[in-house]
Chains A and B, each alone.
Chain A
């Protein structure tokens, strides 16, 4: 199993540009999430999904959109990038059992995004 994969590893954008960060997992996990990591701030939840067709907002959702059309993929979209979105982005997934999230989350390797 490849686990959780993220592309690209690095990206530089100009203010106002749009892009999609890709996340895929091959563990058949129902729960997937996106976090951003900033120095001294830990990891903060952006959006999450408990299954295909279901998404919800986390702690810092503004400026980001998500969709979940398949169990495997959970892309994160920046519609109009801003310098405040410069960060390292991590995707994570977890299995569920009987509708409950089994708490161990598996993280991808991250995407380092710089917005100029």
Chain B
């Protein structure tokens, strides 16, 4: 069974802190690792994504770190703001085979950034 394991389930940080959310995967055929952000009552929206040929990707205050040998990747949010309070999902997919493009999601992390 393909799985993506995400931790922690919930996270509370103070404004300006650096929350870190971790994910681990099993299937070495995965070659696309996105993070989605979801606000209450809304659909998930792509935040940032990485492919396994790089170890880090930054977009604004959001950074993905990727460790191919450990099959782990993480999301770091620099200088977190109350507006970052949302649920974050990691996911993985492969570009090969019959299931290419299908996203396998982690169970989500509910982040709360206190003012």
Interface set of A (CB-CB < 8 Å, partner B): 4, 31, 33, 35, 40-45, 48, 50, 56, 58, 90, 92, 94, 96, 100-101, 103-110
User: Are A105 and B46 in contact, CB atoms less than 8 angstroms apart?
Assistant: yes
Collect the chain B residues with CB atoms within 8 Å of residue A96's CB: 101
B105 near A90 (CB under 8 angstroms)? no
9 A-B pairs in the complex with CB atoms less than 8 angstroms apart: A4-B43, A31-B101, A42-B6, A42-B107, A42-B108, A100-B95, A101-B95, A103-B93, A107-B36
Question: Nearest 9 CB-CB pairs, A to B?
Answer: A101-B101, A107-B43, A42-B105, A42-B107, A43-B105, A103-B32, A107-B44, A109-B43, A104-B46
Task: Verify if B49 is at the interface (C-beta below 8 Å from A).
Answer: yes
Q: How far is the CA of A56 from the CA of B101 in the complex (A)?
A: 13
Whether the Cβ atoms of B103 and A108 lie closer than 8 Å is: no
* B42: Cβ under 8 A from any A Cβ: yes
- Nearest-Cβ distance from residue A31 to partner chain B, whole angstroms: 6
Interface size class of B (residues with CB under 8 A): 20 to 34
- Beta-carbon contact of A56 and B98 below 8 Å: yes
Interface of B is mostly: loop
Q: Once the chains are docked, how many angstroms separate the CA of A12 from the CA of B83? A: 32
Judge whether B106 and A33 touch: CB under 8 Å: no
Given A40-B9, A42-B106, A42-B108, A103 and B44 touching (CB < 8 A)? no
Residues of B within 8 A of A58 (CB): 102
Q: Does B89 contact A (CB under 8 A)?
A: yes
Which residues of chain A are within 8 angstroms of B6 by Cβ–Cβ distance? 42
Cα distance A41–B4 when bound, in Å? 11
Q: Are B100 and A101 in contact (CB under 8 A)?
A: yes
**Cβ–Cβ < 8 Å partners of B103 in chain A:** 33, 43, 45, 103, 105
What separation, in Å, do the CA atoms of A43 and B87 have in the docked complex? 12
A58 to B93, CA, bound (A): 13
Do A43 and B89 contact each other (CB < 8 Å), given the known contacts A33-B102, A100-B95? yes
Measured between beta carbons, the chain A residues less than 8 angstroms from B42 are 109-110
**B45 interface residue per 8 A CB criterion:** yes
Which residue of chain A lies nearest to B46 when distances are taken between CB atoms in the complex?
A104
Bound complex: CA A4 to CA B46 (Å): 14
